[in-house]
Amino acid sequence: MEHLISVEDLTSYEIRQLLKLASDLKDEWRSGGNKPVLAGRTLGMVFQKPSLRTRVSFEVGMLHLGGRALYLSPQEIQLGQRESVADVARVLGRYVDGIMARVFGHADVQALATYSSVPVINGLSDYVHPCQALSDLFTLHEKRGELEGLTLTYVGDGNNVVHSLLFAASKVGMEIRVSTPPGYEPDDQVVSKATETAHETGGRVVMDADPQSSVSGADVIYTDAWASMGQEDERERRLPIFNPYQVNAHLVALAKPDAVVMHCLPAHRGEEITDEVIDGPQSVILDQAENRMHLQKAVLVSLMAD
């Protein structure tokens, strides 16, 4: 990899190599600490959107690997406003060894990669969330072993998270079912690309507006907030539309008895998911959150280590 902009850009082999490296780094960390393979390296972290998990997981991950991370707030770097994205990329490349950007517009992180002389990692854009989807595959690999043949049902809004899940699941031969209210489906081109990839890997992409039939017999149930960051003004309008898509005990009971429940967080408890489920025995949500750090360490090592 030269950059990590979208899971779409990775091969199945590259994904599996990242999962293996993440597992090795996690085992090493639990056995006394990671080797300082990024000693002397600095990651510049550009934030347009705030985040608990993205900032802490990257910052602590760099620390564990012997490097350091520099947080750059929205007030310090206003991409495309205070100065052009190209200039920001060119300047940062003179100071740091890698750039992680959490942005609104996907074009901004693409431009950073185009003009940067150092690796760029997409920490989130409105189009995709690659680090989240890759860490989700890592979590599932820990819980279930082989990913090929697993069925993951995503229930909720057709947002950036499901875009990356579509790319990721189809690359490793999983069946991914997406259940959204009519009018809130994921991008047609993403679905088309994922479907084409699934034909090549033995996976499957299924679009089904009925959450109950979509969840039936699934190995994994995944949900996310019904209104993403930047859509807060739509929340009240969306609540009654999405209410039938809540992940609750009744819906979970339709999946396989040993199905796991996932959520990328932050969760709006009582909306897209109930307390009973998020805190229940089938939830692997906190494991997902921890594994963001381990998978991102694998990305950092792959891009920034000698």
Among all residues, which ones are annotated catalytic? 102, 129, 132, 224, 264, 292
Q: Is 173 helix (H, G, I), strand (E, B) or coil?
A: coil
- The CA distance from 164 to 171, in Å, is 11
Contact 22, 138 (CB under 8 A): yes
| Residues 102, 71: Cα–Cα separation, whole Å | 11
Rounded to whole angstroms, the Cα distance separating 114 from 108 reads 10
Query: 149 and 31 in contact (C-beta within 8 Å)?
Result: no
Identity of residue 185: E
- Is the Cβ–Cβ distance between 69 and 47 less than 8 Å? no
| Cα-Cα end-to-end distance for the chain | 13
Place of tokens 């564990």: 64
Tell me if the bond preceding 266 is cis, omega within 30° of 0.
yes
Rounded to 10 deg, the angle between the 52-64 and 285-304 helix axes is 50
Instruction: Describe the strand order of the beta sheet including 120-124 as a list of residue ranges.
Output: 68-72, 42-47, 98-102, 120-124
